[in-house]
Amino acid sequence: MTTWLSIPADSDFSVHNLPFGIFDPGDGLPRAGIAIGDHIVDLAAAAEAGLFGKRRFFKKLFEQPLLNDFIALGKPVTNRIRRKVQDWLCLAQRPDNATRLLADRRSARMHLPVRIGDYTDFYSSIEHATNVGKMFRPDNPLLPNWRWLPVGYHGRASSVVVSGTPVRRPHGQLLPKGQEIPVFGASKQLDFELEMAFVIGKENPLGEPIPVDRAEEYIFGLLLFNDWSARDIQRWEYVPLGPFLGKNFASSVSPWIVPLEALKAFRVKGPKQTPPPLDYLKGSGASNCDIQLEVAIRSGQGSETVVCRSNMRYLYWSMAQQLAHHTVNGCNVRVGDLMASGTISGPTPGSYGSMLELSWGGQEPIPLAGGTTRTFLEDGDSVIMRAWSEKDGQRVGFGEVFGTIF
């Protein structure tokens, strides 16, 4: 496919991508758009121009500040809208209405793209789970259930924020080393977690599980996700019920949802699962995505340092398996619900997806540009995550998700 619009060769937002988001071009009115190169197709303006038919219906729909109602129309409609925009961008020459339909992406303010009713975080990277286990249980890194089910916990939807939102250092109970009585204070071991997340696009009735071989019908698209973590708060509160204040203070998402269909060329098989999963988790085909992942840290106004390069293909438990397990007990999901993968670590130290692993619990400082080092994040540090797939001249990316600690 070729387009009349000039798009940088290294742009995440090629004509093969066309992700959906909510943007404000400067008039204070957030609405739906599709990213293309350094521009945004204003979907409300496109509807008014008659690009989709049902002019009034789609104009009103795309003037909403959230994508939930649009996504709820189902993939036949959302895919048709995306194809219509793709066809418009691939016309033989620049259309007369191009100026009215395009906004400057670089100056637009981005918003959370969906109303997140519920958020679940999984723990689906065997490399990450093994690394964390080695630090605390050297003789038994993986707990007995890990290879049998996608472990997860219910997170806090209200504190999921869009990329660019500053993150306040959390306070909570800490147990100083060698002591038995906790103290209250600011976390001294603030961390990032490199994750991907998917957005639910179709609902199942309460009591009806989603089969693993139909799970992708319920996945609208993917986001890049940073699950900020306060390791010292988490360590003290973790037993007996798991993550709480060490996790629920903030999670950051990229503003553009890449439709699952845009990643078709980048589907790959996941790792071999041993022992074989139970029948309800047995999927088939290319269940993972070859998505390159990168994390950089910038200290203050200094240069950024890439500290991690990983890939979503390393995930042991696939998105379909996560969703099938989530609903096997009859749990219902709703449009806009968010499911995050858990930290995606690779097999080598440079691919570890958290500071906890990169510094091995704070024992091995990470060098940054300018001669400084980090074991965990300090105030003024910015974390920048990027994700993209590239193959045969096609590039489909997620842009970036970043946040600054204060």
Question: What are the catalytic residues?
Answer: 128
> Cα dihedral sign for 47, 52, 58, 63?
negative
Whether 173 contacts 160, CB under 8 Å: no
In angstroms, rounded to a whole number, what is the distance separating the alpha carbons of residues 281 and 55?
Answer: 43
- State the amino acid at position 141 in one-letter form: P
**Which 3 state secondary structure label does DSSP give 383?**
strand
Q: What is the CA radius of gyration of the chain?
A: 21
Whether 133 contacts 191, CB under 8 Å: no
In angstroms, rounded to a whole number, what is the distance separating the alpha carbons of residues 325 and 212?
Answer: 8
Q: Is 238 exposed, middle or buried (CB count within 10 Å of its CB: 0-12, 13-18, 19+)? A: middle
**Which 3 state secondary structure label does DSSP give 113?**
coil
Query: Which residues are within 8 A (CB) of 32 and not within 5 positions of it... i.e. 6 or more apart?
Result: 20, 21, 22, 43, 44, 61, 62, 63, 64, 67, 70
Token pair of 264, please?
């078709």
DSSP β-ladder status, 292-299 and 288-289: unpaired
DSSP string, 254-294: -S-BEEGGGGGGGEE--PPPSSPPPGGG---S--EE--EEE
CA distances from 69 to 109, 161, 191 (A): 21, 20, 35
- State the amino acid at position 164 in one-letter form: G
Report the residue count for the chain. 406
